[in-house]
Structure 1
Amino acid sequence: MIASDDGTETWESMLLAGQADFHTLAPTENGVYVYNSVASMLMYSGDGEEWTDLFRGALRDIAVDPDDPDHVLLTTDNGVETYRRGYDPRVLAKTDGIALIEWVDERTVVGLTVDGRVLTSTDSGNKWADAGQVRGDIEALGADSDGWQVATTDGIFESTDQGKWWRSILDLP
């Protein structure tokens, strides 16, 4: 992991230079969760210098609860798992195939399956409903109360109606 404190003019190594591959980062108000895919380790730091290994397991994405930074949702081969620092993760029912996940607000979570189905939960991930579909192989997801954005192999798409309709904001050849 690298950081810049001069507006990206220069970069400095912060953590495990050349020894780790951080596929997923999830910042909180007080720190950051990272997933080291080389060691299959979820890690947390409150200051960017001291790091705590939380647990070992295969993850694809991390979403931090906006009301409780000690609580995260994780996408795994088993589905979505709910995790609180200091406890073991627990698989949420009927979440198979959700690969990318993002918390939209205090209760709403959006998830994407590997085949582009968009799912939503209005109870912090306990129950899910189909919301729509995006085309292409999914790569990244961003969401907030103003809209949801998805990057796929076909382009970048945005929805402002909770995933029902998607408009292309960048087509890829």
Structure 2
Amino acid sequence: MRTPLRSLAAAAAAGVALAVTLTACSSGTGTAPEPADGGPGGVTVSHVHGLGIDPSDEHLYVATHEGVVAVAADGAARRVSDRADYMGFTVAGPGRFLGSGHPAPGGDGPANRGLIESTDSGRTWQTRSLAGTTDFHALEYAHDTVYGYDSTNGVLRVSADGTTWDTRTELAALDIAVSPEDPERVLATTESGVARSTDGGRTFGAGAAPVLGFVSWPREDALYGLDQTGGLHRSTDGGTNWTRSGTVPGGAPQALTAVDPDRVLAATQDGVYESRDGGRTFTERLPISGASH
């Protein structure tokens, strides 16, 4: 019988994130964004928290410690948001982003922004819920439902409307992924490996190898995981078995999003990279300055 994974809430969650880090540590359509405020590619980025492709313009969107950055197919980049720290981040639909994090330096509002939403591709954001109490470090939108890992309290939360939340269980995790076919199957990356839930995150089994920092699940037979050294792994059976498919350049990982079985986005300490062949080869989309936060 499975039992919930217990943690010491925020402290334990932070400990797992630190342990995982220290162990290791496109083409598209639409108008290209205008170049922005200096640095390679037109914008300076020090740390990445999330990645996604907006179906409305096919640009790559990068959630960073210094705001949300849009990158066009030709490499032109610009900051589209303010300079807030955007933590958990996911593209929920054309022009619709979900996020969390902290206000820009000198900005108004609580230190933890709860769940925030943009309906104009990251230009403006509105608070949906949990402001002042929650900092989501991982967000997934699947089955018309928001799944979020609340790092402030060390719990998994689930919401059908983005305002009313069900607290599923306590656990110490860094990232989560939801089966694209079954809303009850949820994975979490933990210090001991990938933990699995078959009841929507209410309980999790023990973590099992490999130890991964980030996971992304675009199709049932295409689950990807990124380890602490930048090794990209793929599972075709929901995480029971894994094979290494390639290596992301640039050192310690910061984020992972698999758009489909062939297209994989990954951020490391040196840059944001994209693969169009399932992780065998990668091309740099945006350089990172190398500072960490």
Structure 1 length-normalised TM: 0.89
Paired with 2:184 and 2:177, the residues of 1 have a C-alpha distance of: 11
Tell me how far apart the structure 1 counterparts of residues 155 and 133 of structure 2 sit (CA, whole Å).
13
Would the aligned equivalents of 2:214 and 2:255 in 1 still touch at CA under 8 Å?
Answer: yes
Q: Which amino acid aligns with 1:22?
A: F
Alignment-derived partner of residue 171 in structure 1:
287
In structure 2, do the counterparts of structure 1 residues 10 and 128 end up closer, same or farther at CA, with 3 Å as the change threshold?
A: closer
Which of 127, 133, 137 pairs up with 2:252?
A: 137
Which deviates the most, 78-87 or 152-161? 78-87
Structure with a larger share of its residues in strand: 1
Deviation at 1:56, TM superposition (A): 0.4
> The residue matched to 1:14 in structure 2 has which SS?
strand
Does residue 152 of structure 1 match 2:265? Answer: no
Shift of 1:108: 1.7
Which among 136, 150, 167 is matched to residue 53 of structure 1?
Answer: 167
Secondary structure class of the residue paired with 2:213:
strand
Structure 2, unpaired ranges of 5+: 1-114
For residues 130 and 146 of structure 1, what CA distance do their matches in structure 2 show?
14
The higher relative CO (CA closer than 8 Å, separation ≥ 6) is in 2
Per the alignment, do residues 3 and 162 of structure 1 end up closer, same or farther by CA in structure 2, a change over 3 Å counting?
Answer: closer
Structure 2 distance, partners of 1:60, 1:16, is 20
For residue 81 of structure 1, give the secondary structure of its aligned residue in structure 2: strand
Contact map agreement 2:263 2:277 (CA 8 A) in 1: yes
CA distance 1:131–1:18, change in 2 (3 Å):
same
The structure whose Rg is larger is 2
User: For this pair of structures, how many residues does the alignment match?
Assistant: 172
Letter in 1 for 2:143: E
Identity of aligned residues (%): 37
Instruction: State whether residues 156 and 201 of structure 2, in contact with CA within 8 Å, keep that contact through their aligned partners in structure 1.
Output: no
Distance 1:8 1:85 in 2: 29
> Any residues of structure 2 matched to 1:55-70 within 5 Å, and which?
55-70=169-184
Q: Provide the rounded CA distance (Å) in 2 between the counterparts of 1:7 and 1:154.
A: 25
Q: Is the 8 A contact 1:92 1:126 kept in 2?
A: no
Name the residue aligned to 1:13: 127
Whole-Å Cα distance in 2 between the matches of residues 59 and 117 of structure 1?
A: 19
Gaps of 5+ in 1: none
Higher share in helix:
2
1:38 aligns with 152
Q: Could you tell me which amino acid in structure 2 is paired with residue 88 of structure 1?
A: T
CA distance 1:7–1:166, change in 2 (3 Å): closer
CA deviations 1:146-169 (Å, max 9, x no partner) are: 410111121111112211111222
Change (3 A) 1:163 1:5: closer
Q: Which amino acid aligns with 1:154?
A: D
**52-61 vs 154-163, which moves further:** 154-163
CA deviation profile, 1:60-91 (whole Å, cap 9, x unmatched): 11111000122111111121111122652113
